[in-house]
Structure 1
Amino acid sequence: MPREAELSLNEREFILQALRENTRIDGRAFNAFRDIELTFGDDYGQVDLQLGKTRILCNISAEVTTPFPDRKFEGTFMISTEFSPMASPAFEVGRPTTDEVILSRILEKAIRRSSALDTESLCIIAGEKCFSIRADIHILDHDGNLVDAACLALVAALRHFRRPDVSVEGEKVTVYSLREREPVPLAMLHHPLCVTFSYFHGGETVLLDATHSEEQVREAEVTVTMNRYGEVCQIAKYGGASVDALALLDCTGVAHTKVEALDKLIERKLQEDQRNKDLGGLIAELSAENAR
């Protein structure tokens, strides 16, 4: 099985010694995120996210299907993650790594189990037809903090996505194209985002948005999923050294501040994208009509 080259002993000691001197290799503060570039595609639900050198592509799609027998009044929502081999030598197609399994579980709990997406709004005809929403997350480049980046890309894509409008006459369902009717945004009850804390030196040093090199030398990590209202959706810790319970309270306070900032970033980018679509869509179409 392919393996990624591990840090040498000198590299590990260099990073740890720098942290003892309150210095990160890239010069950031301990509680600072790397630069975030959030770009929306031409189609609804397409997001290209770059967090430093970590790059993630998220695409949302919808189709009409049959609901589950035990959930006749709800649509379905599915998350699929794919780690591209070009992102890291450790990733191989068809062989999920531990990172991929953990990422899938955290996103599943963050979005689905917290009922962030109102699946009842996806129902068309109870027990017969509903919308099935699928989120495909592709890891294109891995330089650490995949969980926070993937969750940010997923929530942004869900907020950006528009499903086709439908009409029901008896048992006949008509699905309209984007040109026939204005597409409908998804009904989201809240917008959970992840903030991961990395622990070093027995918990004395705590970092946000760890790079891949920092992740290889950390002793433990805790992921806090929270929405902008301060409601905790999950706290995930998979192995590693123990973390003091009181330290988790401090984590939730820091996470709330970061989640509010990330939520504002998504909102600002959505507004910019909407203005660009209005300018490039309606005005261009009116100009074409006048030209005729």
Structure 2
Amino acid sequence: MEGRLANSWRLTVNDKNFIKTALLSEIRIDGRKPFEYRKISIKFGREDGSSEVQLGQTRVMGMVTAQLVQPYRDRPKEGILSIFTEFSPMADPSFEPGRPGELAVELGRIIDRGLRESRAVDTESLCILASKFVWAIRIDLHILDNGGNLVDAANIAALAALLTFRRPECSLGGEDGQEVIVHPPEIREPLPLTVHHLPIAISFGFFSNESILVIDPTHNEEAVMGGRMTTTVNANGDICAIQKSGGEGVPQRVIMQCLQLATSKAASITKQIKDAVEVVNTERALRKVKRHPTSTGVDVREKQN
């Protein structure tokens, strides 16, 4: 709850009381209903594996990179997936540069747990040579603006970046067949990652001794809420992870209510991510067609004209 404590001083007592009183009447200060999500915007950079997500006033940038490393000894045929977060003071004055705070660590763990425990990314397909070379996939999440609910926005940014990332194709050569050859994109087309499903993180805020529940809390709501729960589910309704922080215990009926709401919302967010990825993949394919010459040496674009 470091984020709540850090920004609570910005609100006056009257502001806090107004937020709580409005929630008792199922009214939120931004005009939403208790279970209404803010608008999501997904954009992509020119480079593969680069995304920027805006959730209300919250903005997060995701970047995926890869390098060949030696695998862990207990998992010689599996690649490595790691997540790193950067909280810039430009996004929120309460963020300190140079060292990850409690909120940064918690955010990274929630996203990592949702991806890793549900085995959303096929890490075995990242193996090039067992016990010697595997791909290490690194996800960097940069917080650009903190408008509340950083976990959900960062999770979407990570998934969008993963779906648009392409790693170089490799082959084995040499006299003993143990030499890894990394082919540049001009020679062989880079390969996408194998992603089985999309674990979507949906966060809920609790107020007034856990009796009031809202989805996708804003920055000001986080300053006065008593607890938070993030449920990570996919479009099929599979539970990938649950994280509860702050406040009192949550009854089983409330957890089931959150899971039902999260499953419904995860289906729509999954469709939005896939639609955005399909658009950028189509644009990439068109650029590739225009860039590559035909067998006769005539550019396709010139032939069409």
CA deviations over 1:224-274 (Å, ceiling 9, x no partner): 011111110111101212211111011111110000000000110011111
Q: Does 1:107 align with 2:117?
A: no
Shift of residue 138, structure 1, vs aligned partner: 0.5
Shift of residue 281, structure 1, vs aligned partner: 3.0
CA contact (8 A) 1:166 1:176 kept: yes
Shift of residue 157, structure 1, vs aligned partner: 1.1
SS, match of residue 260 in structure 2 = helix
Q: Does 1:8 align with 2:12?
A: yes
Gaps of 5+ in 2: 1-5
The equivalent position to 1:171 in structure 2, one of 178, 181, 186, is 178
Higher mean C-alpha deviation, range 28-37 or range 255-264: 28-37
Q: What residue number does 1:58 align with?
A: 62
The equivalent position to 1:276 in structure 2, one of 274, 278, 283, is 283
CA contact (8 A) 2:88 2:144 kept: yes
Q: What residue number does 1:228 align with?
A: 235
The equivalent position to 2:76 in structure 1, one of 69, 72, 75, is 72
Q: For 1:100 and 1:8, locate their aligned partners in 2 and report how far apart those are by CA, in whole Å.
A: 26
SS, match of residue 270 in structure 2 = helix
SS, match of residue 30 in structure 2 = coil
Q: Does 1:196 align with 2:203?
A: yes
Higher mean C-alpha deviation, range 280-289 or range 199-208: 280-289
Q: For 2:179 and 2:102, locate their aligned partners in 1 and report how far apart those are by CA, in whole Å.
A: 45
Q: What residue number does 2:155 align with?
A: 151
In structure 2, what residue type is equivalent to 1:111? L
Q: Does 1:28 align with 2:32?
A: yes
Q: For 1:289 and 1:128, locate their aligned partners in 2 and report how far apart those are by CA, in whole Å.
A: 42
Percent identity, aligned pairs only, is 39
Q: For 2:293 and 2:179, locate their aligned partners in 1 and report how far apart those are by CA, in whole Å.
A: 34
Q: For 2:13 and 2:146, locate their aligned partners in 1 and report how far apart those are by CA, in whole Å.
A: 22
TM-score, structure 1 normalization: 0.94
Q: For 2:247 and 2:254, locate their aligned partners in 1 and report how far apart those are by CA, in whole Å.
A: 15
Q: For 2:193 and 2:291, locate their aligned partners in 1 and report how far apart those are by CA, in whole Å.
A: 27
CA deviations over 1:134-180 (Å, ceiling 9, x no partner): 00010111010011111111111111111111111211211111221
Q: What residue number does 2:99 align with?
A: 95
In structure 2, what residue type is equivalent to 1:129? F
The equivalent position to 2:225 in structure 1, one of 198, 218, 229, is 218
The equivalent position to 2:261 in structure 1, one of 254, 258, 264, is 254
CA contact (8 A) 1:83 1:93 kept: yes
Q: For 1:94 and 1:281, locate their aligned partners in 2 and report how far apart those are by CA, in whole Å.
A: 40
Shift of residue 99, structure 1, vs aligned partner: 1.0
Shift of residue 284, structure 1, vs aligned partner: 4.8
SS, match of residue 32 in structure 2 = coil
CA deviations over 1:181-223 (Å, ceiling 9, x no partner): 1111111222111001111233332111110100111111111
SS, match of residue 202 in structure 1 = coil
CA contact (8 A) 1:74 1:130 kept: yes
CA contact (8 A) 1:53 1:141 kept: yes
CA contact (8 A) 2:226 2:246 kept: no
Q: For 2:99 and 2:171, locate their aligned partners in 1 and report how far apart those are by CA, in whole Å.
A: 42
SS, match of residue 245 in structure 2 = coil
Q: For 1:39 and 1:149, locate their aligned partners in 2 and report how far apart those are by CA, in whole Å.
A: 12
CA deviations over 1:58-84 (Å, ceiling 9, x no partner): 000011111122221111111111101
Q: What residue number does 1:289 align with?
A: 299
SS, match of residue 171 in structure 2 = strand
Q: For 1:239 and 1:210, locate their aligned partners in 2 and report how far apart those are by CA, in whole Å.
A: 14
Q: What residue number does 2:130 align with?
A: 126
CA contact (8 A) 1:220 1:242 kept: no
In structure 2, what residue type is equivalent to 1:108? D
The size of the alignment, in residue pairs, is 291
Q: For 2:36 and 2:112, locate their aligned partners in 1 and report how far apart those are by CA, in whole Å.
A: 26
